Structure 1
Amino acid sequence: MNNSAASLPLDQQVVFISGGARGLGEHLVRAFLGEGARVVINYLHSAQAAEQLAALAPQRTIALQADVCHAHAVAEAVSAARDYFGLPITTVVNNALPSFSFNGDARPQADTLSWEDIHQQMEGIVRGALNTTQAALPGMREIGFGRIINVGTNLFQNPVVPYHDYTAAKAALLSLTRTLSQDLGPQGITVNMVSGGLLRTTDASSATPEAVFDLIAASTPLRKVTTPAEFADAALFFASPWSRSVTGQNLVVDGGLVKN
């Protein structure tokens, strides 16, 4: 391994953010751009939003459409990003979320939950993360450095609302985080997870009643609901040189609601 690459500064990194055009993804893009990184804004349907976001720093961003459920499409996007920047992907943030709404009234109940519900979330969350990770691995191995950051949830520790399908997929992603960290650590690649609760507010959480947000805020030591921008700031840690000896971990960013 190239030891000089073990703590690559953020402003020398090329960051692939899946689902980066809107919601939490937009805040992740803005956070990495703020630290001088080059950023690949991956999107599925939100082309206009992705292009508008890329226009904030046109020399350091590229918006690329790819369905993370399809390995070939992801590999093509990673190749296009390398051609554009002249550098391999150093950091992957697995943020893409299949179509989902945090609406407790509309969620599948225990007796209506189908395997198709779970499979849809597994496809987007777990398969998507596997595809992006595998596409970026050759470049990471080439330079002896890599950062994989998976977006999780605190709901499998505190299922205040039992979103069975979403939570099952995120729990599987935590398991993959830990096993990949064991496999890839010797190559200078760390794999970690950042887990929020409900964020105030994203597209996915917009269906959540204000009363629920207020209840969560009252239950946290900080007496507030974490914002997408605050979550994105925490994600920077796992890409930064300050986390160079941290891997296989799950950082819960929810104002102290869940003690991990």
Structure 2
Amino acid sequence: MSRPVSDLTVLITGGGRGLGAAIARAFAREGAKVAINYRRSKAAADALASDLGPCAAAFAADVTDVQAVARMVDEIVERLGPPDVLVHNALADFSFNGDARAHLEHLTWTEIVRQTETAVGGTLNCIQALRPHFEARGFGRVVTIGTNLLQNPVVPYHDYTAAKGALLAFTRTAAKELGPLGVTVNMVSGGLLRTTDASAATPDAVFDIVAGQTPLGRVTTPEELADAVLFFASPWARSVTGQNLIVDGGLVFG
């Protein structure tokens, strides 16, 4: 079963700014209804929803809170209709600043848990809240956001990368279980993006180095990664599930 993107209602976690906002704009551009989830970025999420028009709205919830997620989904159903697509983009507070990263001798388990609670726990909470709607229609699309640091940990962001590695495993096990319901589950993994709030602390010299090592000769933008997310929600990806698509201009392969 497949449906055009213009016929979909999409929930984007962490959708108020950065990559999430680019994904929201991409879906809105194609005519989808867009539910913009935020935790603290109310002003940005409300402004984005207003800019996208009547088919978009902002909804508050901490994705690590199962009850808050359930309430949010109920609100989305009432306002926009049952979500057909989940894009789990929410990220625990993080800054891609190699000089300030936690080194192994100082890294705590709590830091890894914090990232994993948002990456994997947030995905779990959202899937559980959306599953009845997916099952009722025999259709659903889940897209998680990963990282090419799994293939090339050029900067060892231990907590962030470990959480995304766990999320890739969960993406694949969820694809196995949800497939019989007509639900696909895939991951889109970016590299360093120019520019999001998380990458704003990255020195310009690092962007230049990445661009110089990339076959396309430039750093990927949030808008370019957002278009890859659209693919997994589109009819063209109806037979693709459990996959990890790396969108980084060819910096890494795999």
In the superposition, the TM-score normalised over structure 1's length comes to: 0.97
- Retained in 1: the 8 A contact 2:25–2:52? no
Q: CA deviation at 1:58?
A: 3.0
- How far off its partner does 1:110 sit? 1.2
Once the 2 structures are TM-superposed, how far is the Cα of residue 99 of structure 1 from its aligned partner? 0.5
What are the within-5 Å matches in structure 2 for residues 168-179 of structure 1?
A: 168-179=162-173
Q: Secondary structure at the match of 2:207?
A: helix
Q: How does 1:1-260 map to 2 (within 5 A)?
A: 6-85=1-80, 87-260=81-254
Q: Distance in 1 between matches of 2:102 and 2:46?
A: 35
Mapped to 2, the partners of 1:157 and 1:15 lie a distance apart of 29
CA distance in 1, matches of 2:199, 2:173: 30
- Given residue 200 of structure 2, which amino acid in structure 1 is its aligned partner? S
One-letter amino acid matched to 2:34: V
Gap regions ≥5 residues in structure 2: none
User: Distance in 2 between the 1:200 and 1:62 partners?
Assistant: 26
How far has the Cα of 1:59 moved from its partner? 1.8
Identity of aligned residues (%): 57
How far does the alpha carbon of each residue in 1:141-180 deviate from its partner, in whole angstroms, 9 at most, with x for none?
A: 1111000000000001100000000000000000000000
Q: Could you report, residue by residue, the CA deviation over 1:177-214 in whole angstroms, capped at 9, with x for unpaired residues?
A: 00000001011000000000110010000000011111
Task: Tell me the number of residue pairs that the alignment of Structure 1 and Structure 2 aligns.
Answer: 254
CA distance in 2, matches of 1:28, 1:186: 27
SS at match of 2:100: coil
Q: Which amino acid aligns with 2:196?
A: T
When structure 1 is superposed on structure 2, of 186-195 and 122-131 the one drifting more is 122-131
Query: Per the alignment, in what secondary structure is the counterpart of residue 194 of structure 1?
Result: strand
Contact 2:192/2:220 (CA < 8 Å) preserved in 1? Answer: yes
Q: Secondary structure at the match of 1:67?
A: coil
For 2:14 and 2:54, locate their aligned partners in 1 and report how far apart those are by CA, in whole Å: 20
Instruction: State how far apart, in whole Å, the 2-side matches of 1:250 and 1:183 are.
Output: 17
Question: 1:124: how far off?
Answer: 1.1
Moved over 3 A (4+): none
Give RMSD over aligned pairs: 0.6
Amino acid at match of 2:229: A
CA distance in 2 between partners of 1:57 and 1:179 (Å): 34
SS at match of 2:193: coil
Q: C-alpha separation between the residues in 1 aligned to 2:79 and 2:72?
A: 10
Question: Separation in 2 of the partners of 1:193 and 1:122?
Answer: 16
The Cα of 1:57 is off from its aligned counterpart by 3.1
